[in-house]
Structure 1
Amino acid sequence: MPVGMEQLVGDLKAETEVLRALLVELDADDWELATPAEGWAIRDQVSHLAYFDDAAVRAATDPDGFRDELRRMVSDGGVSPDSIAERYRVMPPAELLSWFDRSRAGLIDTFAALEKSARVPWYGPEMSAASSVTARLMETWAHGQDVADTLGARREPTDRLRHIAHIGVRAAPFSYRLNGRPVPEVPVRVELTAPSAAVWTWGPADAADRVVGPALDFCLLVTRRRHRDDLALLVTGPVATEWVSIAQAFAGEPGKGRPPSRESGASAHRLNF
């Protein structure tokens, strides 16, 4: 899916605006509301994004300094999102929102000036600048989903979901390795219906193992924001079945994921945003 840096940055801006529209309506107590991520309030979702936006800018502008910092973090026990969240819980909501605004603006300005193929270090393997922006968009959408779920808000799905779906498909080998399983050689066909009704596909058309369904549901799956049983995805074949049980689009430990709702199948699909 060849996409230019200008479009990627523009889509990141648009996804940022959706999240910010939720945040600006919050009062001080709302920032402390518990989200579906265990132990995290809305404030933690936002500090997480701001912190790693700043980290992405350091990685792009001072890669050697970023690598030195990462080595220190690893020697001290690794990168802990929970510890990072705890560090910023004393920050007043207004300051936290300002931090997010500054960090996101810096991220967008920095990456808009880069070639899409420029290499950028990260906490896992280094990636291209284009992949780094795509990852930040995925994180914004996923953590924004937690905020929306907490507030009972509905976000209109858009074709920006294609970026997230693409990461989810490409990250399949990572998902297997993260869970200590061998990466299968059997291909999986993924066919997703976009919000625009376009059909996005990955993998051979004649593959026996398949994942078919709404792009929104697939993105909720690979960001681990919904349980597999609550999604309208048709999964065929043993390899595809194993993959959807461990699929994730983000780096780091998978965590517990979301428990299934009391409903399942098409009825539970009403809960998706």
Structure 2
Amino acid sequence: MTDIFDDLKAEYEQLDAVLAGLTPAEWSHASAAEGWTVSDVVLHLAQSEERAAASLAGEDVMIRRKPAADGEPGRESDGEPGRESHGAPDRESDGAPGRDGGAPGRESGGAFGRDDGASGGESGDGVLSREPVTNGASGRGSGRGEVGRGVDAAADARVAAQRGIAPADLLARWRRAAFAIPDALRAQPKGTRLSWVAIPLSPATLATTRLAEHWAHAYDITAPLGIPYPDTARLRHIAWLGHRTLPYAFDVAGVEGGPVYCELTSPDGELWRFGDPAAASTVTGPAADFCRVGAHRLAPADSTLKATGPYGAKALAVLRNYAL
């Protein structure tokens, strides 16, 4: 199995092939991300990759909570102390899941206080991802909570401030930012933590989040245009992320959760296993459906996934490929 950095580059290449063939009308076409055109989505991706580059350069790119005033909710800001997220995965080395899907690369202990690979201390993927309304799935900001809505608003503002870039220039900008990221992440010394949206991430975890975000937004671009975007074995990283973030997802949603074992079928028919087979709750079915439910591009009821036990259906209800 190729490592996460190679797979991230491959995901960029697959999306690049789509973007290179778009017509001017397709660049200005509405995307599946509510209120955004295809150009807006690519601009958002370019801005997110530039944020990753800034983190690699040592800048603080975390989005933190500003104190509330006059009883109003706090708002998102850069560079001020904020609420810490916890309980989601971390990856060391190449970050690839183990052969059975349930054992990722070596991890540092964190919220669960374990160093044996059970969980790390980072907060999911920190994706800045606007959610489409798709077949009854959550709309933008739905289920994300106040913090998530603030991140969506920040992404909206950044896109609005730079909207109108010519497609050729926008594509060149995204390419410059994106294709420098995999090797830069791979080159980081072991033990490095990089500033990101919620809390610092290891290079391999940040790579996983970049893959997850580009895959989800590739749907936003290609689905409305009727352009094929075949699923690949790279979904294994995203499925790993969704499963390992479940304790965090239960916590954020305020839902009682517990161990969930997943048996997911890859696009090429391989069986991927995540979690303890002895768990009382299970989720089985296509990995692509699992990942789309986690990206809020597919409602659980519209998927072919099967959930059993006390936490199976709850897991699908809160599943997310992002931390906020």
TM-score of Structure 1 vs Structure 2, range by shorter chain = 0.7 to 0.9
How far apart are residue 61 of structure 1 and its match? Answer: 1.9
CA distance in 2, matches of 1:48, 1:223: 16
CA distance in 1, matches of 2:255, 2:307: 20
TM-score (norm 2): 0.70
How far apart are residue 129 of structure 1 and its match? Answer: 0.6
2:244 pairs with 1:248? no
How far apart are residue 201 of structure 1 and its match? Answer: 1.0
Q: Any unmatched runs of 5+ in structure 1?
A: 253-273
Instruction: Tell me the amino acid that sits aligned with residue 47 of structure 2.
Output: Y
1:111-165 CA-to-partner distances (Å, cap 9, x unmatched) read 1311354211111121111000111011111101111102112222211100000
C-alpha contact (below 8 Å) 2:295/2:321 kept by paired residues: yes
C-alpha contact (below 8 Å) 1:173/1:183 kept by paired residues: no
Instruction: Tell me the amino acid that sits aligned with residue 145 of structure 1.
Output: Y
C-alpha distance 73-196 of structure 1, shift in aligned 2 (>3 A):
same
C-alpha contact (below 8 Å) 2:27/2:37 kept by paired residues: yes
The equivalent position to 1:54 in structure 2, one of 50, 54, 57, is: 50
1:96-121 CA-to-partner distances (Å, cap 9, x unmatched) read 11110010122223213113542111
In structure 2, what is the equivalent of residue 214 of structure 1? 286
The equivalent position to 2:182 in structure 1, one of 99, 102, 108, is: 108
C-alpha contact (below 8 Å) 2:62/2:198 kept by paired residues: no
What SS does structure 1 have at the residue aligned with 2:180?
Answer: helix
In structure 2, what is the equivalent of residue 11 of structure 1? 7
In structure 2, what is the equivalent of residue 171 of structure 1? 245
C-alpha contact (below 8 Å) 1:50/1:103 kept by paired residues: yes
2:61 pairs with 1:66? yes
In structure 1, what is the equivalent of residue 111 of structure 2? none
Paired positions, count: 243
Q: How does 1:192-211 map to 2 (within 5 A)?
A: 192-211=264-283
Q: How does 1:52-201 map to 2 (within 5 A)?
A: 52-63=48-59, 65-66=60-61, 70-71=78-79, 79=151, 80-115=154-189, 117-179=191-253, 181-182=254-255, 184=257, 186-201=258-273
The equivalent position to 1:42 in structure 2, one of 31, 38, 41, is: 38
How far apart are residue 78 of structure 1 and its match? Answer: 5.3
C-alpha contact (below 8 Å) 2:186/2:203 kept by paired residues: no
1:207-258 CA-to-partner distances (Å, cap 9, x unmatched) read 2211000111111111111121221101112312112112111133xxxxxx
C-alpha contact (below 8 Å) 2:193/2:202 kept by paired residues: yes
Identity value in percent: 34
How far apart are residue 67 of structure 1 and its match? Answer: 5.3
How far apart are residue 70 of structure 1 and its match? Answer: 2.3
How far apart are residue 182 of structure 1 and its match? Answer: 4.6
TM-score (norm 1): 0.82
C-alpha contact (below 8 Å) 1:117/1:130 kept by paired residues: no
C-alpha contact (below 8 Å) 1:175/1:246 kept by paired residues: yes
CA distance in 2, matches of 1:100, 1:72: 28
C-alpha distance 66-178 of structure 1, shift in aligned 2 (>3 A):
same
What SS does structure 1 have at the residue aligned with 2:184?
Answer: helix
How far apart are residue 59 of structure 1 and its match? Answer: 1.2
CA distance in 1, matches of 2:62, 2:304: 41
How far apart are residue 199 of structure 1 and its match? Answer: 1.1
How far apart are residue 12 of structure 1 and its match? Answer: 0.9
CA distance in 1, matches of 2:155, 2:188: 27
How far apart are residue 72 of structure 1 and its match? Answer: 5.9
CA distance in 2, matches of 1:108, 1:55: 14
CA distance in 1, matches of 2:283, 2:264: 8
Ranked by relative contact order (alpha carbons within 8 Å, sequence separation 6 or more), the top structure is 2
What SS does structure 2 have at the residue aligned with 1:174?
Answer: helix
CA distance in 2, matches of 1:175, 1:120: 22
Instruction: List structure 1 runs of 4+ shifted beyond 3 angstroms.
Output: 65-69
